[in-house]
Structures are given as structure tokens and as C-alpha cells.
Amino acid sequence: MLVAHYYTCDWRDCRDGFGIIPIKFIPHYESTYGADTPRGPVDWHAAYQQLELYGDTSLPIHALHEGEFLVFEK
């Protein structure tokens, strides 16, 4: 929610965050997220492409795998 735009794995859609950190974000990237649901696992390639075209297209996308994190310093 702190980022400008993000991909939500639950809704499988792009949304706007609060914009405090000027990036786009995909959590759980390339994981098995959703594999145990009727919809099946997330199509990570499609998610990345969808977020690329969403909102401010000049912002970088950070797609983090399970357990990865980034530190942003002011």
C-alpha cells in the first residue's frame, strides 16, 4: 500500500497505493500463490505486463520473490 501502484494476487488486478514509495510492486512473484484455488496459480508474466501498462508507466517495477525485501532510504 505504500507504493504508487501494485498488483494484487488475491484480486489479480492492478490497484493504486498511497504513492509514498514511487515504484510499482508485485508481491509473491513467481510463487505458487493461488495454486490451491479454483482459479489456479497466478500467471506472473501476465501480471507483470498488466502492471507495466498501469498508472505511471515511468515507474520501475519491483517484483519480489517470497522472502525478498528492499530497503528504501531517504
Average pLDDT rounded to a whole number, residues 52-68: 98
Examine residue 73 and state whether it is found in any structural domain, yes or no.
no
Examine residue 57 and state whether it is found in any structural domain, yes or no.
yes
Per-residue cell: 31: 510463487
Q: pLDDT value at position 40? A: 93
Per-residue cell: 52: 507495466
The pLDDT of residue 8 is above 90 = yes
Examine residue 72 and state whether it is found in any structural domain, yes or no.
no
DSSP per-residue letters across 39-61: T-S--HHHHHHHHHHSS-TTSPE
pLDDT tens by residue, 10-47:
999 999 999 999 999 999 999 999 999 999 999 999 99
Q: pLDDT value at position 74? A: 80
Examine residue 21 and state whether it is found in any structural domain, yes or no.
yes
Examine residue 68 and state whether it is found in any structural domain, yes or no.
no
Examine residue 45 and state whether it is found in any structural domain, yes or no.
yes
Examine residue 33 and state whether it is found in any structural domain, yes or no.
yes
Evaluate whether 29 touches 46 at the Cβ level (below 8 Å).
no
Examine residue 32 and state whether it is found in any structural domain, yes or no.
yes
Q: For the chain, what is the radius of gyration of the CA atoms?
A: 12
Give pTM, 2 decimals: 0.93
Range of the domain at 12: 3-63
Average pLDDT rounded to a whole number, residues 51-71: 97
Split into its structural domains, the chain has a count of 1
